[in-house]
């Protein structure tokens, strides 16, 4: 009986960077930003794949909901040649860290709060997400009432500053689309408080949903006279209780 001896030479372990780029990119798509940045420090090939713009594009769009008008996020989403998604993510993270530090200083020190508020406002509308997070996290902090108050106060200033900026654009620029709806949407920015919904983009989305809902029920709406159209819309809104007023208040249509 012949015995076969197994080789004592250890087989090399499979290397992650030996995988094709497409496979690595698919794996990396499951990582968060911190993990993706960490893996990029391990090997040259992994660094190149981890810096792929599509990975950071998805992280930007998934991790951040609010954007400043200066970010021009819609044009960047439509521009297939834009490659600086990783840099954009880093900028947003820097703004969030700065916002958190400013709120902490406002909690710790009674002086300089106006300067810290202005600093946060200069970051732009994108930091609204971080301010909302600070409001939610307040109960678990050392000074919950102070943090919640400061974050809500700065959040209100941010919402109102966006409304005033938008009204100024409507007044002095002729290229603004839907100026009437935009001006009305800005009114809500003064009463949002720390609500996570109800900003200008949300208002436009809801208006579009209302319009589509009415057209689904009344496909001949555009053929009606202005008076009949107004009555039809008012009756539909009342039937759905989409009145924008509290229960018990009077509504005249």
The 3-state secondary structure of the chain, one letter per residue: CCCCCCCCCCCCCCCHHHCCHHHHHHHHCCCCHHHHHHHCCCCHHHHHHHCCHHHHHHHHHHHCCCCCHHHCHHHHHHCCCCCCHHHHHHHHHHHHHHHHHHHHHHHHCCCCHHHHHHHHHHHCHHHHHHHHHHHHHHHHCCCHHHHHHHHHHHHHHHHHHHHHHHHHHHHHCCCCCCHHHHHHHHHHCCCCCCCCCCCHHHHHHHHHHHHHHHHHHCCCHHHCCHHHHHHHHHHHHHHHCCCCCCCCCCCCC
Residue 32 and residue 121 in one domain: no
Report how many domains make up the chain: 2
pTM for this model (two decimals): 0.77
Range of the domain at 189: 52-208
Residue 91 and residue 190 in one domain: yes
pLDDT tier for residue 99 given thresholds of 50, 70 and 90: very high
Does residue 221 fall inside a structural domain?
A: no
Residue 93 and residue 29 in one domain: no
Residue 39 and residue 114 in one domain: no
Residue 104 and residue 35 in one domain: no
CATH number, domain with residue 28: 1.20.1280
Q: What is the mean pLDDT of residues 236-245?
A: 81
Residue 65 and residue 103 in one domain: yes
Residue 42 and residue 105 in one domain: no
Residue 25 and residue 59 in one domain: no
Q: Kindly tell me if the per-residue pLDDT of 106 is higher than 60.
A: yes
Residue 190 and residue 97 in one domain: yes
Q: What is the mean pLDDT of residues 83-101?
A: 95
Residue 43 and residue 56 in one domain: no
Does residue 171 fall inside a structural domain?
A: yes
């Amino acid at each position: 009986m012949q015995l076969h001896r197994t080789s004592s030479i250890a087989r090399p372990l499979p290397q992650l960077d030996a995988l094709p780029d497409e496979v690595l990119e698919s794996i990396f798509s499951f990582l968060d930003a911190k993990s993706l940045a960490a893996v990029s420090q391990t090997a040259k090939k992994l660094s190149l794949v981890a810096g792929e713009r599509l990975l950071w594009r998805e992280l930007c769009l998934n991790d951040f909901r609010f954007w400043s008008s200066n970010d021009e996020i819609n044009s960047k989403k439509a521009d297939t040649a834009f490659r600086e998604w990783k840099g954009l993510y880093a900028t947003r993270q820097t703004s969030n860290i700065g916002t958190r530090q400013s709120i902490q200083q406002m909690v710790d020190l009674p002086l300089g709060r106006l300067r810290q508020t202005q600093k946060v406002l200069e970051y732009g509308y994108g930091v609204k997400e971080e301010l909302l997070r600070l409001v939610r996290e307040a109960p678990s902090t050392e000074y919950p009432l102070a943090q919640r108050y400061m974050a809500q106060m700065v959040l209100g200033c941010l919402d109102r500053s966006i409304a005033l900026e938008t009204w100024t654009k409507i007044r002095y620029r002729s290229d603004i689309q839907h100026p009437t709806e935009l001006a009305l949407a800005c009114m809500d920015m003064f009463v949002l408080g720390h609500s996570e919904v109800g900003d200008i983009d949300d208002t436009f989305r809801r208006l579009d949903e209302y319009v589509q809902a009415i057209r689904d029920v009344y496909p001949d709406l555009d053929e009606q006279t202005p008076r009949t159209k107004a009555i039809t819309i008012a009756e539909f809104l009342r039937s759905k209780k989409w009145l924008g007023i509290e229960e018990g208040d009077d509504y005249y249509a």
